[in-house]
Amino acid sequence: MVAAGARGPSRSPADRGRRAVAYTVADIAATIGRRLVGGASVRGDGETRITGLAPIETAANGELSHLSGRSYRRFLATTGASAVLLRPEDAGQCPTVAVVVANPYLAFAHASRLFDSKQRPAPGVAPGAHAHARAEIHPTASVAPGAVIADGARVGPEVAIGAGVFVGESVAVGAQTVIHANATLYANVHVGARCVIHAGAVVGADGFGFTPDETGALQAIAQLGGVTIGDDVVVGAGTTIDRGTLTDTVIRNGVKIDNQVQIGHNCDIGEHTVLCGRVGMAGSTRVGRHCVFGGGAGVAGEHPITICDHVQVGAVTTITRSIDKPGVYLGTVLHNTAQRWKRTALRLERLDEYAKRLARVEAKVEAGGDG
């Protein structure tokens, strides 16, 4: 048992399920420095060997960590890491090798990929997979057992199709995209290059479109559009992206979508926007670039909603009208004890009555003042 605040035993690369790799700190700094504004400089022994990554409070010998937030500064003096990615102002307090960068978390993101040793599967269509005779599969692509590639589908160079994946008619999958097990791409879905679609995601199912007839019975509206996904997009596990009614639902370059997100038909999600888990978007929502939606946020209104660039929406916030100014938007009632929350809920039900009473009081005060 490890006491609170104590550093537990470090796990080896093999324990963490990755192939053992090693780099010198100098090599890491040179590699990530080419991708960072301002580069990366080493203070200390650049020949120190690094075999893995770890949080600053638990890192051990041979591991690289990062100091990206002020709340973690308290761990710097006692860290067991062999090297730390940090800002210039923190370098003087670093007890080990310092890799000085302007943005430690971004530097950590680049460094993490050096230690990602997941193996790409061998190219070819595996036994047990089914590829239609008119499907086009690049010779460098891989298709795992149980996958189905339908008529007219096009699978690009170095694409990896996982076990049980369904790639529907006339689907196009761009170069170096990875589609994990049991994901489904319905017909007429176009996926760009270097995307990741995680297990169980469903892209291109019918949008939720019905209208009542004279008897009140609901009649389906044929969903004739598709889905267009740009380059460098991530679609989380269990996420659903509906096809458009007449034109495509569009997910633009660099969008990152977490697990269990629902995107309705004909939505258009702008470049480099982030949708956290359980976000739900009603059909025809338009979202700008570089927006962030916290977990459980929802977008739905009487009319299609448009959200401008650089908007942040807090967790579990519901957006019911368009937003045309960048900023942070919150709409969650804060939690409380059950008893106090029930009282608050009862008062909220009478909010309109209170507003009318207040208006009458104000009118009387103003009338008295005039007299």
CATH code for the domain defined by 23-114 = 3.40.1390.10
Question: What's the pLDDT score for residue 336?
Answer: 85
Question: What's the pLDDT score for residue 14?
Answer: 40
CATH code for the domain defined by 183-329 = 2.160.10.10
Question: What's the pLDDT score for residue 126?
Answer: 97
Question: What's the pLDDT score for residue 17?
Answer: 44
Host H or E run for residue 106: helix 104-114
In the block, tokens 């270097």 appear at 194
Question: What's the pLDDT score for residue 267?
Answer: 98
Question: What's the pLDDT score for residue 19?
Answer: 52
Question: What's the pLDDT score for residue 370?
Answer: 57
With a cut of 50, which residues of the chain have pLDDT below it? 1-14, 16-18, 371
How far is residue 204's CA from residue 270's CA, in Å, rounded to a whole number?
Answer: 18
**Cβ partners under 8 Å of residue 277, min gap 6:** 236, 258, 259, 260, 261, 295, 296
Using one digit for the tens of pLDDT, what is the confidence trace for 285-316? 999 999 999 999 999 988 899 999 999 999 99
Note the pTM of the prediction, 2 decimals. Answer: 0.87
**Cβ partners under 8 Å of residue 101, min gap 6:** 32, 33, 36, 38, 39, 40, 85, 86, 87, 107
Q: Which phi and psi (to 5°) does residue 278 adopt? A: 70, 15
Catalytic residues: 265
